[in-house]
Structure 1
Amino acid sequence: MLQMITHVVKGDGFTGLYRGLSASLLRQITYSTTRFGVYEELKETFTSAKSSPSLPTLIAMASTSGFLGGIAGNPADILNVRMQNDASLPPEQRRNYKHAVDGLARMVKDEGVRSLFRGVWPNSIRAVLMTASQLASYDVFKKELLQRTSLGDDLTTHFTASIMAGFVATTVCSPVDVVKTRVMSAHTQESIVGLITRITAKEGLGWVFKGWVPSFIRLGPHTVATFMFLEQHKKMYRKWNGYE
């Protein structure tokens, strides 16, 4: 990973580390907003004063939310992958999108509207796995910490549950992340089965967890920040509306 960072800085300067930032922000606006919004709405619908959703129900709700989020965020996800991958390509092969809006316009113009949903199935599957492993596991870890330890519903519990959820999500999503990235950054069409067969024959089964450490370095803090902010937001929302 350090070698990759050095290569990017040497070739594009420190600004190269933020290549694709606009696409990443657009992805969060579309993908994350959809999956969190749908999940919280479903959880509220199926929660009553006497009972809360079981683990299978939480997983089902999170999977539904993730699938919808994966479809909503697919165009921005493609841009994010392509813009970040540019740094590893020779200058003549780079797409050189100026920003997310420019990338979307050029994709539609050069490749057609269908290009916006390239890799939508592996991306949606990844979104299902991510949301189910991240959101559902967080709720389970938080519940267990509250029931089995002396911790209260505070920042310590939120931090502990979220870092554990980040570990689970990174591990579950690692194989799909590898496939998704290679499909979206490819210059030629190749079936998912063909891609998996080819990289397994070439790299062995080690490809399944290739890039796990940088993925966790990214996803771990992201998961912690997301859930700690979400918990505080929910607390302020309940207080503002007189629910507590």
Structure 2
Amino acid sequence: MSSSLPPVSTQTPPSLPPAIAKPKKQPYPFYLGGVAATIAASITHPLDLTKVRLQASGDKRMVDSIKKTVRTAGFRGLFDGITGTWMRQMSYSLCRFWAYDESKKLLGANPQSPPWVLAAAGVMAGSIAGVVGNPGEVVMVRLQGDFAKPPEKRFNYKHCFDALFRMVREEGPSSLLRGVGPNVFRSILMNSSQLASYDFFKAELLKTKYFEDNIACHFTASFAAGTVATTVCSPADVLKSRIMNASGPGSSSTLGVIRASLAKEGPMFMFKGWVPAWTRLQPTTILIFLTLEQLKNAVDWKRGTL
């Protein structure tokens, strides 16, 4: 009796094509944060200038301070010290964004990490950037605050490099570290509040059904981050401006500035200039993160990964 079963094929079935592995996303250029911050700070420079002059001088109100600047120096006066702002952003801000990303990698942080992990990365970044960016910070504050002083007390720096060289020549290299303590403290507060809260708010918004990873989400997250950062950083910001803008011997003592300010103005001096600080930091924060996200999109587009 013959079998009705078909003959067994010995031919090997064709193999399926191997799955194409998705290429690992390359890190973004380290300088994107500095470029984004420089663009944002250039736009909001007049508000930052007004904030510094309110903190370092006897001006009482933001509008009065702006009018005084325009009256004494014209509209160009609203951009006094812009080169110091550029120097500060391309040192401090470049460093803080780079250090924040590296700190998150070191801590194994991701968009779903708890806030304290993101804040810890911000503390690490702020500690580094506060020291690296201190010379630029001193130069920026002095250039911005110069025209608020009587003519005989002005530094009369021509630009940021003139300020840097003259400070080293006339006051010694240690002048570049003037106010480094409050500046590092403020940098820690800023990065642990602004950068960490932006990541936190962005991640929380993306969990809802109302937001996608687009400009609306970036705007909302950065608005919340700017308000948090302004409130957290105000005391250290005031102290930093007053110490860096001082020029007399012994005038750079943090405790001395605190005692003198408390005796003269009371504890609320720590929040002097909060409104212009918020008015300046809010659009700056929004512009920084919107610009940074668009720069990242541009890099992705160029790489073909958008």
Superposition TM-score, scaled by structure 2 size: 0.75
Are 2:104 and 1:43 equivalent residues in the alignment?
yes
Alignment of 1:111-190 (within 5 A): 111-188=171-248, 189-190=250-251
Specify every segment of 5 or more residues in structure 2 that has no aligned partner in the other structure, as ranges: 1-61
Partner of 1:6: 67
Deviations 1:23-47 (A, max 9, x none): 0000000000000011123324545
Matched, 1:225 2:225: no
With 131-140 and 226-235 compared, the bigger mean Cα shift is at: 226-235
2-structure distance, mates of 1:47, 1:192: 36
1:196-211 aligned at under 5 Å gives the runs: 196-211=258-273
The aligned counterpart of 1:212 is 274
1:159 corresponds to which letter in structure 2?
A: F
Question: Are the counterparts in 2 of residues 119 and 180 from structure 1 also a CA contact under 8 Å?
Answer: yes
2:109 and 2:117 in contact (8 A); partners too = no
Where does structure 1 lack aligned partners over 5 or more consecutive residues? none
Residue aligning to 2:76: 15
Whichever residue aligns with residue 195 of structure 1, its letter is V
Farther-moved stretch of structure 1 (164-173 vs 81-90): 81-90
For residues 118 and 214 of structure 1, the distance between their equivalents in structure 2, rounded to whole angstroms, comes to 24
- SS of the counterpart of 1:152? coil
Q: Which amino acid aligns with 2:127?
A: F
What's the secondary structure of 1:58's corresponding residue? helix
Counterpart of 1:28 (choices 71, 83, 89) is 89
CA distance in 2: counterparts of 1:195 and 1:208, whole angstroms = 11
Give deviations 1:171-222, integer Å, cap 9, x for gaps: 1011111100000011222321222122112111211211011111111111
- 1:205 maps to a residue whose letter is P
Deviations along 1:70-119, whole A, 9 cap, x unmatched? 11111111111111111111111111000000000100000000101111
What's 2:299 paired with?
A: 237
Answer whether contact 1:46 1:53 (CA < 8 A) is retained.
Answer: no
> Is the 8 Å Cα contact of residues 168 and 175 (structure 2) preserved in structure 1?
yes
The residue type paired with residue 118 of structure 1 is R
CA contact (8 A) 1:43 1:53 kept: no
Structure 2 distance, partners of 1:228, 1:42, is: 22
C-alpha deviation, 1:234, in angstroms: 2.5
Partner of residue 150, structure 2: 90
Using CA pairs below 8 Å that are at least 6 residues apart, which structure has the higher relative contact order? 2
Q: Return the offset for 1:236.
A: 3.5
Q: Which amino acid is 2:283 matched to?
A: P
Question: 1:46 touches 1:52 (CA, 8 Å); kept in 2?
Answer: no
Q: Is 1:59 matched up with 2:124?
A: no
Change in CA separation of 1:115 and 1:52 when aligned onto 2, cut-off 3 Å:
same
Deviation of 1:66 (Å): 1.2
Q: For 1:52 and 1:145, how far apart are their aligned partners in 2?
A: 12
Structure exhibiting the larger radius of gyration computed from Cα positions = 2
TM normalised by structure 1 equals 0.93
